[in-house]
C-alpha cells in the first residue's frame, strides 16, 4: 500500500535522530530538494515568496512519505497505530505507519488519573496480561464523599463510578508499553518531534504535517543550531493530540469542523503522585470527593487512587467554566489536601511528581465533524471523554481503533480523500452508546452542585440516559465575570508538608525547554493582557496557570504593569489557550522534546 518507490524504508528513517531528523550529508532516495517543496505544495505561511532573504538561503525541509501519519503517542494514537499494523498483518498488506510525539519519550507528556476501564485494551491486545502490560493494581473499593470545611459525608457511589473490573494505573506507563507493542509490529515512533504545522495539497486536502524548525532564536532569527523541520506526508493523517490539540484547533477553522457542534467545554486536572507511609496505603482504593473547598456553583472535585508500592495519585479537576477570576485551581487543590479527612493520607509521606492537563468535557454534543479530506480526529482531540465516569482512555483508544479500521478499508478500496467510514463505524460502537447515555449530565451542573447531582440521579435512574432532550454547552472563556463583581479569594499559605507553592511543584514536573527559542505562548494582541485582562479581570492568567508561567510585573514604583511570560515553565496543560477571556493567547508547539518529563503520571 506504500506508494511506489516511496517506502519509508528507502528513506532511511533510522537516520532520524533527535538532533536532526537526518544525519548530516544524508540525502535519502526520494528526498530530492525538488521533491521537498513541489510547486503549490508548500504549507501555509511558508511560501517561498513569503520567506526572508536569510530564510531563502537556509536548508529546505526534507520529506518522508507514509501511508498513515499519526500525531501524538497517547492512548488514542498508539491504539490506532497498533490496529493498523494488526490489520495489515492479517491481510498480508504493506502499510507504513509513523507516530510523532512532542514529549522527549513516549509517556513524557501523559498525565491522567488513572483508573482504566480495560474494555478497549481487551479488544486490541486480548493477551495484554501475558505481554506484561502495567496493570497491576485492580480496583477494590469505591468511595464517593461530600466534603464540608470540617466534615466528610459518605454518599452512595453513582453507578458510573463503580470500578469493579477496572485497574489503577499510570497512563504514562501504559503508553510506554503500548509504544513497545506498536514498535514490535513495525510502527515507527519518533518521540521528541512536535508536529508544528499541517500540510495541504493543492486540492486543499491534508497532506501530512511538518515538524518545527529547531534553532529559531528568541528574536525569530535562525541561530547556529538551526535545523529545518521535516515534512511527514501521508495518504491519511490522524490527529491524536489529546485535549485542545494545537493543530486540531487549526483544522477546526480550516474545515469548519465545529460548525454544527456545541462549543467544547473543559476541565483542568492538577495531579500529584505521593509515596505515603505504609499505614496509609490501601492499594485498589478509589476515593472521589465533591464539595469543599469549591463553592457549589463551581464544577469540580478530587480523586485519590491508591496504587501498589505505597503510592497514591491525588488530583483535583475544576471545570473551566468557573466564573470568579480570583479562583486559583492550583491553590484550591493545595487547600483540598489540608482537609481533616484528607491530610492524614499524606502526612509523613513524600511528594514524587506534579503536573497538570486539561480534559475535554463536552461529550457527544461537542464532538466536531471527525473527518476532512486527508485526515481525521481521534481521542481527546475530538473529545470522547465520559465525564460522569471521569474516564477517557478507553473511549480514546476505541476511537483510534475504529479510525484505523476505517482507514485500512479506505486505503485498500482506494476511495476519495475523506474517510467517511470512520464516523459511520463509530456510531455503531459502544463509545457512541456510552456517550449518548451520559450526554446531559455535565451540562446539568450549570444548576450548581446540588442541581447537577439531582439531575444526574434522575437522568441515570429514571430516564436511563434516554431523555428526549439534549442540554447544551457554552464556551468556557465566556464564563468569567468581571473582577469588580466578584470577591477575591484568600488562600492559605502552603505548609510545605502537604501543601506547596507553584514553583516547587513545577520543579518536580521535570519541565524543560530549550531557552533560546521563540515563546510558544503567543499573544494575538500584546496590549490585551494589561488593557483587558488586568483592567477587567485582574489578570486571571496569573491564577489559572498551574505552572506560574504568567506574571504581572511592575517597576520599582509599582507602576507600568506588564505581562511576563515564563514560557520555560509551561507543562503543556493548554488552560491558557482555553480560558483566556478574549482568546488572545494562542498555544503553539515549542521545539520537540520540550515540556514536562513525567516519569509515571
Ligand atoms: C487529571 C486527569 C485525570 C484523568 N483520569 C482518568 C481516569 O482515571 N481514567 C481514564 O480513563 N481517563 C482519565 N483521564 C482522561 C484520559 O487521560 C484522556 O481521555 C486520554 O489520555 C486521552 O487520550 P488521547 O490519546 O486522546 O490524548 P493524550 O493522552 O492527551 O495524548 C496526546 C499525546 O499527543 C502528544 N501531542 C500533542 N500534540 C502534539 C503535536 N502537535 N505533535 C506531537 N505530539 C503531540 C502529547 O504530547 C501526548 O503524548 C484523565 C485526564 C486528566 C487530565
Ligand atoms: S502556560 Fe498555559 S499551557 Fe502552559 S502550563 Fe500555563 S496554562 Fe498550561
Cα separation, 363 vs 262, whole angstroms = 9
| Of residues 333, 344, 357, the one with CA closest to residue 501 | 333
Would you say the CB of residue 396 lies under 6 angstroms from ligand 1? yes
pLDDT at 2: 39
Q: Which residues contact 215 (CB under 8 A, 6 or more apart)?
A: 222, 223, 224, 225, 226, 227, 516, 517
pLDDT at 57: 57
Grid cell 536569510 is found at 54
Would you say the CB of residue 73 lies under 6 angstroms from ligand 1? yes
pLDDT at 220: 86
259 C-beta neighbours (distance < 10 Å), count = 9
| Of residues 418, 399, 307, 401, the one with CA closest to residue 360 | 399
Nearest CA to ligand 1 atom 13: 391
Q: DSSP states of 584-597 as a string?
A: -EEE---STT-B--
pLDDT at 18: 36
Cα separation, 446 vs 266, whole angstroms = 14
pLDDT at 56: 52
Would you say the CB of residue 103 lies under 6 angstroms from ligand 1? yes
H-type alpha helices, 1-131: 33-36, 53-57, 75-90, 119-124
Would you say the CB of residue 573 lies under 6 angstroms from ligand 1? no
Nearest CA to ligand 2 atom 4: 570
Collapsing DSSP to helix, strand or coil, 275 comes out as: strand
Q: How far is the CA of 481 from the centre of ligand 2 (A)?
A: 21
Respond yes or no on whether the N-terminal peptide bond of residue 293 is cis (omega within 30° of 0): yes
Q: How far is the CA of 566 from the centre of ligand 2 (A)?
A: 10
Q: Ligand 2: which of 521, 542, 548, 589 to mutate, judged by most atoms within 8 Å of the beta carbon?
A: 521
Averages of pLDDT over runs of 10 residues in the chain (601 residues) are: 36 36 34 32 38 57 96 98 98 97 97 97 98 96 97 93 96 98 98 97 97 89 90 97 98 97 97 98 97 95 97 98 97 98 97 97 97 98 96 98 98 87 97 94 90 88 86 93 96 97 96 91 96 97 98 95 96 98 96 94 95
Amino acid at each position: 500500500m506504500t506508494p511506489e518507490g516511496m517506502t519509508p524504508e528507502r528513506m532511511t528513517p533510522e537516520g532520524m535522530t533527535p538532533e536532526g531528523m537526518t544525519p548530516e550529508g544524508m540525502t535519502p532516495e526520494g528526498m530530492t530538494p525538488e521533491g521537498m517543496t513541489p510547486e503549490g505544495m508548500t504549507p501555509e505561511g511558508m511560501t517561498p515568496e513569503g520567506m526572508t532573504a536569510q530564510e531563502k538561503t537556509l536548508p529546505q525541509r526534507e520529506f518522508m512519505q507514509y501511508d498513515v501519519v499519526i500525531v501524538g503517542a497517547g492512548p488514542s494514537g498508539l491504539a490506532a497505530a497498533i490496529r493498523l499494523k494488526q490489520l495489515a498483518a492479517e491481510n498480508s498488506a504493506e502499510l507504513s505507519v509513523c507516530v510523532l510525539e512532542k514529549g522527549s519519550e513516549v509517556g513524557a507528556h501523559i498525565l491522567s488519573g488513572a483508573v482504566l476501564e480495560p474494555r478497549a485494551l481487551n479488544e486490541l491486545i486480548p493477551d495484554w496480561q501475558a505481554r506484561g502490560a502495567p496493570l497491576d493494581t485492580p480496583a477494590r473499593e469505591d468511595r464517593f464523599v461530600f466534603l464540608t470545611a470540617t466534615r466528610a459525608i459518605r454518599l452512595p457511589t453513582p453507578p458510573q463510578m463503580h470500578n469493579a473490573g477496572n485497574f489503577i494505573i499510570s497512563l504514562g506507563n501504559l503508553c510506554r508499553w503500548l509504544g513497545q507493542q506498536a514498535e514490535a509490529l513495525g510502527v515507527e515512533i519518533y518521540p521528541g518531534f512536535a508536529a508544528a504545522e499541517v500540510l495541504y495539497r493543492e486540492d486543499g486536502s491534508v497532506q501530512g504535517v511538518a515538524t518545527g524548525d529547531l534553532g529559531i532564536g528568541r528574536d525569530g532569527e535562525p541561530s547556529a543550531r538551526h535545523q529545518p523541520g521535516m515534512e511527514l506526508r501521508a495518504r491519511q493523517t490522524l490527529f491524536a493530540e489529546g485535549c485542545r490539540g494545537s493543530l486540531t484547533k487549526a483544522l477546526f477553522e480550516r474545515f469548519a469542523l465545529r460548525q454544527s457542534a456545541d462549543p467544547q467545554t473543559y476541565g483542568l486536572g492538577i495531579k500529584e503522585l505521593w509515596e505515603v507511609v505504609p499505614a496509609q496505603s490501601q492499594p485498589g482504593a478509589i476515593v472521589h470527593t465533591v464539595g469543599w473547598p469549591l463553592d457549589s456553583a463551581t464544577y469540580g472535585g478530587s480523586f485519590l487512587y491508591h496504587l501498589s508500592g505505597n503510592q497514591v495519585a491525588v488530583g483535583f479537576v475544576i471545570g473551566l467554566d468557573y466564573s470568579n477570576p480570583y479562583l486559583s485551581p492550583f491553590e484550591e487543590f493545595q487547600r483540598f489536601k489540608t482537609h481533616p479527612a484528607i491530610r492524614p493520607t499524606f502526612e509523613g509521606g513524600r511528594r514524587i511528581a506534579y503536573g497538570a492537563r486539561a480534559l475535554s468535557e463536552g461529550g457527544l454534543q461537542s464532538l466536531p465533524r471527525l473527518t476532512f479530506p486527508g485526515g481525521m480526529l481521534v481521542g481527546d482531540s475530538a473529545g470522547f471523554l465520559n465525564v460522569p465516569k471521569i474516564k477517557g482512555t478507553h473511549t480514546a483508544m476505541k476511537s483510534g481503533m475504529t479510525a484505523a479500521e476505517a482507514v485500512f478499508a479506505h486505503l485498500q478500496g482506494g476511495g476519495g480523500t475523506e474517510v467517511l467510514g470512520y464516523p459511520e463505524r463509530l456510531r455503531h460502537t459502544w463509545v457512541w452508546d456510552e456517550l449518548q447515555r451520559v450526554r446531559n449530565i455535565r451540562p446539568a451542573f450549570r444548576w450548581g452542585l446540588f442541581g447537577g447531582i439531582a439531575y444526574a440521579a434522575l437522568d441515570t435512574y429514571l430516564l436511563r440516559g434516554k431523555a428526549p432532550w439534549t442540554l447544551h454547552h457554552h464556551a468556557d472563556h465566556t464564563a468569567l465575570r468581571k473582577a469588580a463583581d466578584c470577591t477575591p479569594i484568600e488562600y492559605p499559605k502552603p505548609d510545605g508538608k502537604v501543601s506547596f507553592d507553584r514553583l516547587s511543584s513545577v520543579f518536580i514536573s521535570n519541565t524543560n525547554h530549550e531557552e533560546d527559542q521563540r515563546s510558544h505562548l503567543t499573544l494575538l494582541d500584546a496590549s490585551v493582557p494589561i488593557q483587558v485582562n488586568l483592567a477587567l479581570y485582574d489578570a486571571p492568567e496569573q491564577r489559572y496557570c498551574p505552572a506560574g508561567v504568567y506574571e504581572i510585573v511592575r517597576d520599582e514604583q509599582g507602576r507600568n504593569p506588564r505581562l511576563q511570560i515564563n514560557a520555560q515553565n509551561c507543562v503543556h496543560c493548554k488552560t491558557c489557550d482555553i480560558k483566556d477571556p478574549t482568546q488572545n493567547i494562542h498555544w503553539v508547539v515549542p521545539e520537540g522534546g520540550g515540556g514536562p518529563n513525567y516519569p509515571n503520571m
